[in-house]
Structure 1
Amino acid sequence: MSDPTSAQFKPYPFEAKQYDARLPELVDDRKDDRVARREAQRHAVTIVGGGPVGLAIALGLAKHGVRSVLIEADASVCEGSRAICISRRSLEIIERLGALDGFLAKGLPWTGGRSFYREHEVLHFTMPQDENQKLPPMVNLAQYHIEQFLLDAAERHADLIEIRWRTKVTSVQHDAHGATLALSTPLGDYETQTDWLVAADGGRSAVREALGLNLAGTSYEGRYVIVDILLDSARPTERLAWFDPASNPGSTVLVHKQPDNVWRIDYQLRDGEDAEAAVKPENVLPRVQGLLDMMGETAAWSPIWITIYKANALTLERYRHARVLFAGDAAHLVPIFGVRGANSGIDDADNLAWKLAWVVNGRADARLLDSYSDERVFAAHENLSYGTKSTEFMAPPSFAFELMRTAVLSLAARHPGVRSLINPRQTSAIAYTDSPLNAVSDPLVSGPAPGAVLSECPVTIVDGVVGNRGRAGHMTDLVGPHFTALYFSDEGGVPPELVALETSCTVPLTLIPLARRAPADVARRCGWDHTGRLFPMYGAHANTLYLVRPDGHVLGRWQGCGATLAQRANAALQHALHA
């Protein structure tokens, strides 16, 4: 681009379908000498917010046969890259929701990144990735693609997910029995009633405001301009960070490659720069050109989207308020550093959906939803802790922090021991170590403890058909919309007491044997530890049982005879669902 200040903005290489508003069946409702329009049907679950979190919750409910109505103020999926990094944990969740194919086909996988201080490389980090993993540690995918792939999956469940576009929430009233929402559309206004209300409507949540709730925590002064550009480059996909670069002295710059030759650039504004002026093209584009020159990128480029961002580390104290539940940015705002925003929201959705579905279906006491708040508030504080450390390094909040950062960066090129302080602390699965659902368990030498997510490992899955030699699979393939009892044995046999528990249990429970040796013909689905890595990884020998929740977190683990294992598993289930 010879003259970036005269550039014309190009459209994204993605065209979002536009949706029209629609009205449900309405009836007249006389209130205080006035006639209002009210929806005739009351809903079991209403979700406000059609972004990644709201769509994931709707899909999670649909997997349990629970119908929901999703309210979205816009007419299409979002514009702009926004959230762009999806973690392995989120991909595991998205696979269970039936939307993974698009993410893997379109997304750009990556395993690490590099950081530079001025012109010197000071860090080259890699995320955990080994032969046990099924999915990449991270994929880059713009939020409009993320929403579209989840929307595609939701539209395949049109019998259970009704999406109402161009519909805004103007007020909320709630009590012990549910909530009443006042809604506004281009076709007219009306009220709707719901047994359960889920607020997934983002950082400026209308539901949160209507309930008079405030996020608490820290808002940072550092601001970043976010720019999406079109650039054809063969540069590999990785996280790139520059501290005090020649193109933007005294600040930091982040660069991510996205699909379709879209590049995401985040650069920090200097103290005293006017935010309104900072996002004007005549001020943004020369800085982008300077960055590309510094990177050695010589191809023509064009801008697509510009916005500004301020880091926040904020959360509600509780995510359940009677029959109103908060998730995603409506519940917490996490700094972008370490990519915990959308990923923590997807984890919220995974935790909430099965619990809400089981309460709606009468399989669990409504108090189960308190554990959603307990676990995800704990996770938010973990995410905020890591995000705060990353933010204080990326955008120092004081002179002392800036002095410390300069010292670390100056030493890092020659002293590897200090490089860990530059690490961006990428998001990872969080263990609910103090969850009220965790069962008292046996101390094994290794393996995921109660509250942790199931450890990934390849297994050969045999589907219980005589002569079936099995197919390649992984441990996460064995988790479904139910509790899963994983029984470790030598050749795939299971005690009759566990079989009886599976058939008599009052909640959906699937028993899956895991065999140390190739199993003989078995009448049920089982997994074979063909690599020999699974049993040591889980600290298991014959007669070991892991009880896993629908979201892939371990509820309990024990060793012993069949009768003891069945008794302890049943007690753990009853405690979790009816405590």
Structure 2
Amino acid sequence: MPRYDYQPFEYSTPPELRGASAHRYPVVIVGAGPVGLSAAIDLALHGISCIVLDDNDVVSRGSRAICWSKRTLEIFDRLGVGERMVEKGITWKIGRLFHREREVWSFDLLPEEGHKMPAFINLQQYYVEQYLVERCRDFPDLIDLRWKNRVTDVAHDPNGAIVTVQSPDGSYRLETDWLLACDGARSCVRSCLGLDFDGRVFEERFLIADVEMSAEFPAERWFWFEPPFHKGQSALLHKQPDNIYRIDLQLGWDADPEEEKKPENVIPRIERVIGHGDFELDWVSVYTFQCRRLDRFVHGRVVFAGDSAHIVSPFGARGGNGGIQDVDNLVWKLAMVLSGEAPECLIETYNVERVHGADENILNSSRATSFMTPKTDMERLFRDSVLDLAADHEFARKLVNSGRLSRPCGLGFSPLQSSPNESGHMVGAAMVDAPLGADGWLLNHVGGRFTALAIDADLPELPDGVDGIVVSSDPQRFDDVSCLHDAEKFVKRRYGEGSIYLVRPDQHIAAICRDATELSAAWLRATGRTT
């Protein structure tokens, strides 16, 4: 019996089937998972209306994506659900790796202080979707959530796309300037356009079992290579809210997924892991390792994000996090194009930047898969030798790979960015947060719009469309402007002083400037108006 109480969302007859006049919509989103819902909220924060279509009427079945990284939590915080997620989720930053019965080593993903968001939380995807749906309801005039509305056909038109939708009350068509395909690995939009993934399917399967039990396992990530309870294979254990524990067990390519999901086969495996039978199965699934993506994420006015654009093996938490970072990159660009503030070519930079991000995730995921599940004698010899050395030698620990955990993608290569600055902060990097005493947190003062961030420096004249913020450890130096107080000097240590950072709406650094001329040129470049 699932612990989560699945409540169906209300269906209502679409206006198109109630005699409403034909209307062209600025954005239609297909898929009401975390990626599609996040895109809808971000669009609403920019004042852009959208329709969200989903063929279901409940949140996702099973925990699915559970590991949410610091960068993704910062994005969720900007969208208005981050604090709620952290409050409900299991916060963790320590990972432990075992080889057979021995702990090889442990790592700390966030050893320093001065960050609002933790390194990671574990929170079931159904909670994330619930919180996002509830946040969508804060924008009743901008977000139209349509449940039980299944897309059956998609076609390009010269200025957008035409979507055919099947509802319980009949079929209808929508015309839209932009269609966002956020409908997952089995994307209907992708199929309708005849598109397919390139990449690799690994000959490996894993069992996911969510079990409810009372236990003393700490809020850490435990990964075993060849554990005594699952000999010759790999295993992972994570704690989730509500006394739910995620257990992943390597099965091998020859395993029959339907047989392995049967309780009579799952329960004995779990008993061997935890040493007793005092638990209840909450959800079971079997997945195949894949690392694949579309060749391009932008096809005319149809844009793909999340699993509809790319899929990776789950170890490393790069799937769900990568999808949220997709729409974080996309929506501000789309909003500027729709409002006439930027040329349409700005959308192509989404393709450039997020294809790069997907390739980075695929590379890390592929390497983790090869290390975790060696297929040749040489791969196994290398893996076992590294694990033997890692307990005592630092150099070997860097080679252990149970999934390189999700990190924000750097964009220093992008045509929207400038060159690195002198202090070592690479242009294109996601901003690092910092406490500001009574003024809260740095990242809560930037994002959603372009911002010129002056660190112990005077703001130059700003272009229209760029906000200005001054941060100083001595605010009285800047009596004539509103100045945020770097009381503990975290900002100064992380960003230096005397610099002016141009921050993109997605909180990536676009440029470091010395004066108004450089700032204006960087802003024009970052909005796609110069190359």
Aligned residue number for residue 16 of structure 2: 26
2:248 is the alignment partner of 1:248: no
CA distance in 2, matches of 1:250, 1:276: 22
Q: 1:359 to 1:285 in 2, by over 3 A?
A: same
Q: Which amino acid aligns with 1:282?
A: E
CA distance in 2, matches of 1:339, 1:11: 23
Aligned residue number for residue 456 of structure 1: 433
Q: What secondary structure does 2:354 align onto?
A: helix
CA distance in 2, matches of 1:42, 1:264: 44
Aligned residue number for residue 367 of structure 1: 345
Aligned residue number for residue 488 of structure 1: 455
Shift of 1:552: 0.3
Q: How many corresponding residue pairs?
A: 528
| 8 Å Cα contact 2:197/2:310 also seen in 1 | yes
| 8 Å Cα contact 1:519/1:528 also seen in 2 | no
CA distance in 2, matches of 1:406, 1:440: 42
Which aligned pairs between 1:428-507 and structure 2 lie closer than 5 A? Answer: 428-440=407-419, 443-446=421-424, 448-460=425-437, 471-489=438-456, 494=458, 498-499=460-461, 501-502=462-463, 505=464
Q: What secondary structure does 2:399 align onto?
A: helix
Aligned residue number for residue 572 of structure 1: 522
CA distance in 2, matches of 1:480, 1:245: 45
| 8 Å Cα contact 1:231/1:299 also seen in 2 | no
CA distance in 1, matches of 2:54, 2:377: 43
Q: Which amino acid aligns with 2:348?
A: D
| 8 Å Cα contact 1:449/1:556 also seen in 2 | no
| 8 Å Cα contact 2:35/2:327 also seen in 1 | yes
| 8 Å Cα contact 1:328/1:345 also seen in 2 | yes
Runs of 4+ aligned structure 1 residues displaced above 6 Å come to none
Aligned residue number for residue 514 of structure 1: 471
2:506 is the alignment partner of 1:551: yes
Q: What secondary structure does 1:282 align onto?
A: helix
| 8 Å Cα contact 1:20/1:166 also seen in 2 | no
Identity of aligned residues (%): 38
CA distance in 2, matches of 1:480, 1:118: 46
| 8 Å Cα contact 2:205/2:255 also seen in 1 | no
Shift of 1:85: 0.4
CA distance in 1, matches of 2:414, 2:510: 9
Which aligned pairs between 1:351-366 and structure 2 lie closer than 5 A? Answer: 351-366=329-344
Aligned residue number for residue 15 of structure 1: 5
Structure 2 residue runs of 5 or longer lacking an equivalent are none
TM superposition score normalised by structure 1: 0.88
CA distance in 2, matches of 1:340, 1:545: 32
Q: What secondary structure does 1:56 align onto?
A: helix
Which aligned pairs between 1:70-109 and structure 2 lie closer than 5 A? Answer: 70-109=52-91
Q: Which amino acid aligns with 1:124?
A: S
For the aligned residue pairs, the C-alpha RMSD in angstroms reads 1.9
Aligned residue number for residue 392 of structure 1: 370
Q: Which amino acid aligns with 1:272?
A: D
| 8 Å Cα contact 1:21/1:165 also seen in 2 | yes
Structure 1 residue runs of 5 or longer lacking an equivalent are 1-9, 29-36, 461-470, 560-564
CA distance in 1, matches of 2:491, 2:22: 54
Aligned residue number for residue 50 of structure 1: 32
Shift of 1:510: 0.8
CA distance in 2, matches of 1:513, 1:26: 49
Shift of 1:523: 5.1
2:374 is the alignment partner of 1:383: no
CA distance in 2, matches of 1:148, 1:522: 45
| 8 Å Cα contact 1:247/1:291 also seen in 2 | yes
| 8 Å Cα contact 2:475/2:483 also seen in 1 | no
111, 120, 128: which one pairs with 1:129?
Answer: 111
| 8 Å Cα contact 1:38/1:192 also seen in 2 | no
2:237 is the alignment partner of 1:282: no
Shift of 1:416: 4.5
Aligned residue number for residue 463 of structure 1: none
Deviation readout 1:425-464 (Å, 9 max, x if unpaired): 21111111211101356x3123x3221111222224xxxx
CA distance in 1, matches of 2:17, 2:183: 27
CA distance in 2, matches of 1:39, 1:93: 37
| 8 Å Cα contact 2:136/2:143 also seen in 1 | yes
Shift of 1:94: 0.4
CA distance in 1, matches of 2:393, 2:519: 51
| 8 Å Cα contact 2:223/2:235 also seen in 1 | yes
Which aligned pairs between 1:203-352 and structure 2 lie closer than 5 A? Answer: 203-293=185-275, 298=276, 300-352=278-330
Shift of 1:119: 0.8
Shift of 1:350: 0.6
TM superposition score normalised by structure 2: 0.95
| 8 Å Cα contact 1:431/1:452 also seen in 2 | yes
| 8 Å Cα contact 2:206/2:252 also seen in 1 | no
| 8 Å Cα contact 1:458/1:475 also seen in 2 | yes
CA distance in 2, matches of 1:572, 1:399: 52
| 8 Å Cα contact 2:209/2:284 also seen in 1 | yes
Shift of 1:477: 1.8
CA distance in 2, matches of 1:303, 1:39: 50
Deviation readout 1:512-542 (Å, 9 max, x if unpaired): 112242325745432222223423422333x
| 8 Å Cα contact 1:444/1:539 also seen in 2 | no
Q: What secondary structure does 1:422 align onto?
A: coil
Q: What secondary structure does 2:475 align onto?
A: coil
| 8 Å Cα contact 1:25/1:40 also seen in 2 | no
2:163 is the alignment partner of 1:181: yes
Q: Which amino acid aligns with 1:245?
A: P
